[in-house]
Amino acid sequence: MTSKQIGAEIADGRRARGMKTREAVLAEAVQLASVAGLEGLSIAHLAARLGTAKSSVHASFGSKEALQVAVIAHTRDILVELVIAPALKTPAGLQRLSALGEGWMSYLERKTFEGGCVLSSASLDMDGRPGPARDAVAAVMGEWLDLLEDNIIRGIEKGEIAADTRPAQLAFELNAVGMAANWQSQLFGDAFSYETGRAGWSGLLKRHCVS
């Protein structure tokens, strides 16, 4: 083995350790953002939570804005893993919409995040703050709405959903149910039951379902 090959292996090992460290920091950053809000997230606050030097966190992200964008990307990965990927195993259309609703409510109910859904709170936190963080939130939420709308269209094409249903309108209403469920749960705690959210989601689908 040459010195060059050994050097490359050492560099690869360092990169791997760096990636693991960054992932661990991101996991904590997501939890902090769920409590403090995306705008309240900072390198200093994250370093304090981790019990490490600010310079260590800064080395991983470089700026508060870059940290915010990374948190949104990481949150998207969690949403895909826990909500979207399982739903994709069901047939497109009405069944997948039902699975997405159940997946979202379960994702919220089991307290994936300490302070509630990061994407839901970030949508409110960043809506009037132009910049990369807002753009990242808008992109992820746009993907989510497109997923809902695409499956509504598939449901109409399959004859499961009424032909006069407006896909964008129904996607808006379904998303509003999930956002409201997260808000009410965070504000009222155990007094709110996610069965209310589930009923709201299924009720909307039933109203547009072909009998």
Residue 9 confidence (pLDDT): 42
Tell me, what CATH number does 130's domain have? Answer: 1.10.357.10
Domains held by the chain: number = 1
Q: What is the pTM of this model?
A: 0.83
- pLDDT more than 70, % of the chain: 91
Most confident of 14-18, 58-62, 108-112: 108-112
**Tokens representing 79?**
């949403």
Residue 53 confidence (pLDDT): 73
How much is the mean pLDDT over the chain?
A: 85
From the centroid of its chain, how far is CA 203?
Answer: 24
Residue 28 confidence (pLDDT): 85
Q: Are 121 and 148 in contact (CB under 8 A)?
A: no
pLDDT digit string, tens, across residues 148-172: 999 999 999 999 999 999 999 999 9
Q: Are 96 and 158 in contact (CB under 8 A)?
A: no
CA dihedral 88, 89, 91, 93 (to 10 degrees): -20
Residue 17 confidence (pLDDT): 43
Q: Can you give the chain as a three-state secondary structure string?
A: CCHHHHHHHHHHHHHHHHHHHHHHHHHHHHHHHHHHCCCCCCHHHHHHHHCCCHHHHHHHHCCHHHHHHHHHHHHHHHHHHHHHHHHCCCCCCHHHHHHHHHHHHHHHHCCCCCCCCHHHHHHHHCCCCCCHHHHHHHHHHHHHHHHHHHHHHHHHHCCCECCCCCHHHHHHHHHHHHHHHHHHHHHHHHHCCHHHHHHHHHHHHHHHECC
Q: Are 209 and 162 in contact (CB under 8 A)?
A: yes
Higher pLDDT, 123 or 82: 82
Q: Are 99 and 90 in contact (CB under 8 A)?
A: yes
Residue 4 confidence (pLDDT): 46
pLDDT digit string, tens, across residues 106-133: 988 888 888 888 888 888 877 777 888 8
Higher pLDDT, 51 or 140: 140
Domain that holds residue 204: 3-208
d(CA 123, CA 120): 5
**Tokens representing 179?**
């956002």
Residue 7 confidence (pLDDT): 41
**Structure confidence at residue 40 as a pLDDT band (50, 70, 90):** confident
Inform me whether the pLDDT recorded for 92 exceeds 90.
yes
Q: Are 101 and 19 in contact (CB under 8 A)?
A: no
Q: Are 197 and 177 in contact (CB under 8 A)?
A: yes
**Structure confidence at residue 5 as a pLDDT band (50, 70, 90):** very low
φ, ψ of residue 161 to 5 degrees: the values are -120, 140
Inform me whether the pLDDT recorded for 136 exceeds 80.
yes
